[in-house]
Amino acid sequence: MTPPDPASAAFSQTDLLNALLGIEDGSALAALRAQRPAATDHTQGSYAALFSDHPHTTVSPIERFATALRVSALHGEHALVAHYTTRLRALPESSAQLIAEILTTPDAAALPARLRAILTHADLLVIRPAAATPAHLEALQSAGLSAAEIVTISQLIAFVSYQIRVFAGLALLRGDERAAPAATIGPRDAPSAGFTQAEIGWTPWLPPFEAADATDAQRAVLPGQRLNSPYSRLLALDPAVLGERTATDLGIFYTHGGLARADRELAAAVASRVNGCVYCASVHSRRASELSDRPADVQRILDDGIEAALDDRWRAVTDLAAALTLTPPAATQAHLARLRALGLDDLEILDAIQASAFFGWANRLMLTLGEPLLPADSG
């Protein structure tokens, strides 16, 4: 058994994004984040749950930090690469060779077969999430991962993808000059058709537990109708992580003030359109239409893509959301300048950033743990 990481408690209790960005108490950016306490606290809580010394599932610390390092390296986000390298290096089973191989290729022969399978899956979820099939989960099962471990790994890859996008957005809000990447590696293989505002379903590729079999810990994170959702029951195989993720979601989309809720839903729909998540796009485009009373504009985004004709405000929100969704994120000061010129303040821009970033998390789960179920399919 791996002994507890002596640095783990400190990392769990200190807001990691503030630490990595050097955001000091009392600064303007600290005050801005403090206006979104649930999103801020539960983003950190998600990190703490995923890298806990007492995790719910048996994915090892080596596997967790190796996966986070691989995701960070694929995004080219040096601060996160350095952080996860430090966390990995602190483990007794780690080595310089292991870290070098993780940074170089997931197929290195010297890596354990199970870790190779996990890192290969990380590459898929980061670069080509819409290309996932049941066979990819079967490959993880063949490498020895249980359904609960697959959920943990999926959450971890998707969370770090979100964490990187929030980090990039906060750096821009601080005033950093972040150049757009010379090239992007994802998302690749996203569909360009089939998007709809109609209500559709989703079916998992792994069997969730039956509602009657839920533990107390699982019931605690599945209030109300969530217990009836196969997707929620699947994610509740790692209940601590699901609880933090749900609280992060609510903290981003259901807070008062700041960006109009319709614009937050627009950002979610745009990210889902770019990543190719038909299910998420259906849910959040429908909400954007209902809240804005602009169903025709929303439908153009679904039909024509992110270059669809829009007014200046929605054009600027769409462009920021789309740029953050790319891998690596391509948002720059120019995106923020356009929003500010249209009268948006920094709290509204933070809401747009976090709504877009969250769907770097949500899409990767929906796309790689199951598939949309269209009305014709269910009939």
| pLDDT tens-digit readout, 313-324 | 999 999 999 999
Joined together, the tokens standing for residue 300 give 């153009």
Q: Has residue 195 been placed in a domain?
A: no
Q: What value does the mean pLDDT take over residues 158-184?
A: 97
Whether 243 and 285 share a structural domain: yes
User: Alpha-carbon distance 370 to 306, whole Å?
Assistant: 25
Give 107's pLDDT tier (boundaries 50, 70, 90): confident
Task: Tell me, rounded to whole angstroms, the distance of Cα 159 from its chain centroid.
Answer: 4
Q: What value does the mean pLDDT take over residues 349-353?
A: 99
User: Alpha-carbon distance 16 to 126, whole Å?
Assistant: 21
Cβ-count burial 328-358 (b if 16+ within 10 Å, e if not)? bbbbbeebbebbeeeebebbbbbbbbbbbbb
Whether 170 and 211 share a structural domain: no
Q: What value does the mean pLDDT take over residues 204-221?
A: 98
Instruction: State the total domains in the chain.
Output: 2
Residue 376: what pLDDT?
62
Whether 224 and 126 share a structural domain: no
The full DSSP string for 197-247 is: SS--EEEESSPPPPGGG--HHHHHTS-GGGGG-HHHHHHTTSHHHHHHHHH
Token pair 């849910």: residue: 283
Q: Has residue 3 been placed in a domain?
A: no
Whether 164 and 208 share a structural domain: no
In single-letter form, the type of residue at position 144 comes to G
Q: Has residue 286 been placed in a domain?
A: yes
Please determine, for residue 375, whether its predicted confidence score (pLDDT) is greater than 90.
no
User: Alpha-carbon distance 363 to 343, whole Å?
Assistant: 30
Own/partner contacts of 336-342, CB < 8 Å, gap of 24 or more, are 336/172, 336/173, 342/312, 342/313, 342/316
Whether 150 and 264 share a structural domain: no
Cα–Cα separations (whole angstroms), residue 118 to 8, 138, 149, 303:
22, 12, 10, 35
Q: Has residue 184 been placed in a domain?
A: no
Three-state secondary structure of 123-161 = HHHHHCHHHCCHHHHHHHHHCCCCHHHHHHHHHHHHHHH
Whether 243 and 374 share a structural domain: yes
Residue 109: what pLDDT?
79
Tabulate helix, strand, coil % of the chain (nearest 5).
Answer: 65, 5, 30
Give pTM, 2 decimals.
0.96
Q: Which range of residues forms the domain containing residue 214?
A: 201-378
In single-letter form, the type of residue at position 253 comes to F
Whether 69 and 148 share a structural domain: yes
Of 174, 193, 223, which residue constitutes the final position of a domain?
174
Give 10's pLDDT tier (boundaries 50, 70, 90): low
Of 124, 139, 174, which residue constitutes the final position of a domain?
174
Q: What value does the mean pLDDT take over residues 107-128?
A: 94
Q: Has residue 260 been placed in a domain?
A: yes
CATH (domain of 137): 1.20.1290.10
Cβ-count burial 188-208 (b if 16+ within 10 Å, e if not)? eebeeeebbbeebbbebbbeb
Please determine, for residue 253, whether its predicted confidence score (pLDDT) is greater than 80.
yes
Residue 202's beta-bridge partner residues? 372
Residue 13: what pLDDT?
67
Whether 221 and 370 share a structural domain: yes
Q: What value does the mean pLDDT take over residues 37-48?
A: 98
Residue 377: what pLDDT?
53
Q: Has residue 255 been placed in a domain?
A: yes
Residue 8: what pLDDT?
54
Q: Has residue 262 been placed in a domain?
A: yes
Q: At what angle do helices 295-304 and 261-275 cross, to 10 degrees?
A: 20
Token pair 């801020």: residue: 40
Residue 37 backbone zone (phi > 0: left; psi -120 to 50: alpha; other: beta): alpha
Residue 164: what pLDDT?
98
Cα–Cα separations (whole angstroms), residue 355 to 50, 79, 265:
21, 22, 8
Whether 150 and 21 share a structural domain: yes
Whether 352 and 208 share a structural domain: yes
Whether 13 and 127 share a structural domain: yes
Q: Has residue 80 been placed in a domain?
A: yes
Cis preceding linkage at 112, omega within 30: no
Average pLDDT, the chain: 95
Give phi and psi for 102, each to the nearest 5.
-60, -40
Joined together, the tokens standing for residue 171 give 């750096």
Residue 379: what pLDDT?
39
Whether 164 and 226 share a structural domain: no
